[in-house]
Structure 1
C-alpha cells in the first residue's frame, strides 16, 4: 500500500488511504498523530497533504511524524475546513470524530458541495446519522469499507456531491454499502443492539413499530 519508510496504518486509516485518489492534493482534517498524512506523502500517492488539527498538541506530533517528507506536508492549526481555501485540495479526509461533528464541519463549508471533491469520512460514532445526512444533502455514497480497529467497528465512507438529494430508507442508513463484507454480521449485531435500546425508550405507536421492523430486517441480515 505504501513504502516501508512511511508509518504503518491500522485498518481504519488504511481503508481511508485507499479511498484517496493518487496524484491529487489532499487535506487530512483531524490528522491527530499525522500517520495518514505521512503515509499519503511518503508513498507518493499525494503530491501535497495538508495535515490539519484543532489542537496544538496533536498537530505538533503530526509535524514531527511528517518532518521526513518536507514540503510535501503542510501542518495547519484550525477548526474543520476553515483552514482551507476552496479548490486548494481535491480530496478531503475527515476522521477521528463523531458523525455530528463531521456534519457540522461540512455544513460550515458550503464550497464543499461540489462534485470536484472526493470525501473520505471516518465517523467514530453514529454511522447511520452520517449516511442519512449525506443522502439528504445530495451526496452519493460511492463506496464503503467495513473494518475493525482497537476493538471497534468503523465504516469508512467515500462520498461525492451529486446534488441528487434523496430520503434514504432506514436499512440503508444502518448498513450502507457494507452488506457482504467481512465482519458485516458482527457489525449488524452491534448496530442492532443500539437500535433495540433506542426502541425501549419509544412510546407505543408508528415509530416504535417501524423501528421493530428495522430490527427484524437487521436480524435477518446478520443471520445470513
Structure 2
C-alpha cells in the first residue's frame, strides 16, 4: 500500500500554519490524518491526537500504526483539551466542527492552554463565536484564509497568544479582520450567498405571526454591512 498520507485541501491549508518542529494537539482528529501528514513531512514534529468517542479513537490509533508513527504521535481518548497536561504542546488545532462547539472546547479547556502559543481553528459554521473567544482570551488573529471544498467554503483562523485581548469590531467578528483586508474571490462568493440567505430569512421573519423584532433588526443591520463590504470595496472595520 501507499504509505504517504493524503490530505484534503482544507486540512492541507490547516497544516500549512503549523510551524516546523511544533509539538501540537489535534482535537477531534478524524483518523489522525493531519498529525500523520505533518509528522511525515516534518521529522521534528510531535503530535497528540484527541478523540472523544471510542470508534474514532480506534480509527486514529490504526492510522498511526499504519503509517508507523507510534513514536511521534500519541492518540488519547478524552473530552477536548482535557486530554492535555500542562506544557505538553505549543500549538493546538481544532478543525471540522461548528464554531459554537469550538468555543465551548476552548472555554472548558482554557486552563490547559498555558504553553499554547498558537491555535488554528477551522469552524464549519459560526466563525464569529471563535473570533469572539480569541478576542476575549488574549489571542490575536494573525492570519485567516478561505478554502473551497465539495461545494462548501471553509474559513481557517490562526490566532497567536499576546499580552492582552485583541479588540475587534462587530464587523471584524463577522467577516474576519484578515479576510476583510484580503477580499479574495471566495470572500465575495461566500458573502454574496450570505446576503441572499439573510434576505430570505428576513422575509420569513416578517411573515411570522409574532415577529422577533430585535432579531430582525440584527439581520437587517448585518445585511447592510454585507452590502457595504461587497459593493464599496472598503473593509468598514
Note whether the superposition's TM-score is higher than 0.5: yes
Q: Which residue matches 2:222? A: 214
The size of the alignment, in residue pairs, is: 220
Please give the alpha-carbon distance, in whole angstroms, between the structure 1 residues aligned to 2:86 and 2:17.
Answer: 21
- Report Cα offsets for 1:191-221 as digits up to 9, x if no partner: 334544565546446x644542331221233
Q: Normalising to structure 1: TM-score of the pair?
A: 0.86
Please give the alpha-carbon distance, in whole angstroms, between the structure 2 residues aligned to 1:222 and 1:184.
Answer: 9
Match of 1:35 among 17, 33, 36: 33
* 8 Å Cα contact 1:115/1:161 also seen in 2: no
Tell me by how many angstroms 1:82 deviates: 0.8
Q: Secondary structure at the match of 2:191?
A: helix
RMSD: 2.5
Range that drifts further, 59-68 or 162-171: 162-171
Greater Rg, structure 1 or structure 2?
A: 2
Q: Which residue matches 1:181? A: 184
Tell me by how many angstroms 1:16 deviates: 1.0
Tell me by how many angstroms 1:188 deviates: 1.3
Please give the alpha-carbon distance, in whole angstroms, between the structure 2 residues aligned to 1:46 and 1:6.
Answer: 17
Q: Secondary structure at the match of 2:121?
A: strand
Tell me by how many angstroms 1:113 deviates: 5.2
* 8 Å Cα contact 2:89/2:116 also seen in 1: no
* 8 Å Cα contact 1:140/1:159 also seen in 2: yes
Aligned residue runs from structure 1 range 123-202, under 5 A:
123-165=123-165, 168-176=168-176, 177-179=178-180, 180-196=183-199, 199=202, 201=205
Please give the alpha-carbon distance, in whole angstroms, between the structure 2 residues aligned to 1:70 and 1:204.
Answer: 56
Q: Secondary structure at the match of 1:20?
A: coil
* 8 Å Cα contact 2:146/2:186 also seen in 1: yes
Q: Normalising to structure 2: TM-score of the pair?
A: 0.81
Range that drifts further, 159-168 or 46-55: 159-168
Match of 2:54 among 53, 56, 65: 56
- Report Cα offsets for 1:81-125 as digits up to 9, x if no partner: 111102101110011221111111111123355474210111122
Shift in alpha-carbon separation, 1:160–1:111, aligned structure 2, 3 A: farther
